[in-house]
Amino acid sequence: MISRQAFREAVATLPCFQGLKLEAQDLEGVRKKAQRVGYPPGAVLFVEGEPCDRFFILRSGRVRLFKTSSDGREQLLRVMRGGDFFCVVPMLEGGGYPVTAQALERTEAVVFPSQAFAEHVLGELPPLARKMIHALCRRIMDLSALVEALSFQDVRRRVARTLLNHAERHGVPQPSGYVVLTQRITHQQLASSAGTVREVVTRVLARFREQKVILVANRRIQAVDPKGLHRVLESGSSSHCDIGH
């Protein structure tokens, strides 16, 4: 069980609780069943298909949520960060986890038993339930955009879009026009996000490097050219079908 002080500190920084006028007793019932859990980099929080018995709110770190095909290919759905919560839908609908969750770095979470959180918090605190519904709606829109990209964009544009999104979150603009990446993104992470395999991403990045759309040093993408990546997004796919899918 997490202490009262630690629990107050945990929920005070979480966006889903901010703006809500909650009294200490409002969350006391679920606090007694909550735990603060730390995960090292690479740790698996849960595996797709396992019974959903826990609800997670991240305090710090990053966790990737992904699905795996029968042939071992991964599709990254979302990277959760401090303040995010996940496992709402299976918590309410029952069944197993729809994805696998893995820590990308040292991560800390407040973990609740699903049934206790659903019955006590969502059942008795409608304002919190509404905030969570709004957050789920935003995620549905993100998933819709992902489906559209996987269905209608060729692999070059999917990789370009992933790099742009990464640069927006973890980039520092330079006078030269390039954006320096402050957080590493691997070929496998790009492949998981773009719905392809690492070998195809390697060929795409080699083309981008030739075109100076990306700058690479020590086998790591150091910077990207947003204008160049936008040109890739605006270009057709007919002349690049040889790269793969």
Collect all residues with Cβ–Cβ distance below 8 Å to 185 and sequence separation of at least 6: 162, 163, 166, 170, 221
> 100 versus 191: which is more confidently predicted?
100
- CATH tag, 154-240: 1.10.10.10
**pLDDT tens, residue by residue, 120-135:** 666 666 666 666 666 6
Domain ranges in the chain are 4-150, 154-240
Q: Which pLDDT does position 209 carry in this prediction? A: 93
pTM over 0.75: no
Q: What angle do CA 174, 154, 201 make, to 5 degrees?
A: 60
Q: Give the pLDDT band of residue 195 (cuts 50, 70, 90).
A: confident
Q: What average pLDDT does this structure show over 94-100?
A: 84
> 36 versus 25: which is more confidently predicted?
36
Q: Give the pLDDT band of residue 57 (cuts 50, 70, 90).
A: confident
Domain spanning 4-150: CATH superfamily: Jelly Rolls (2.60.120.10)
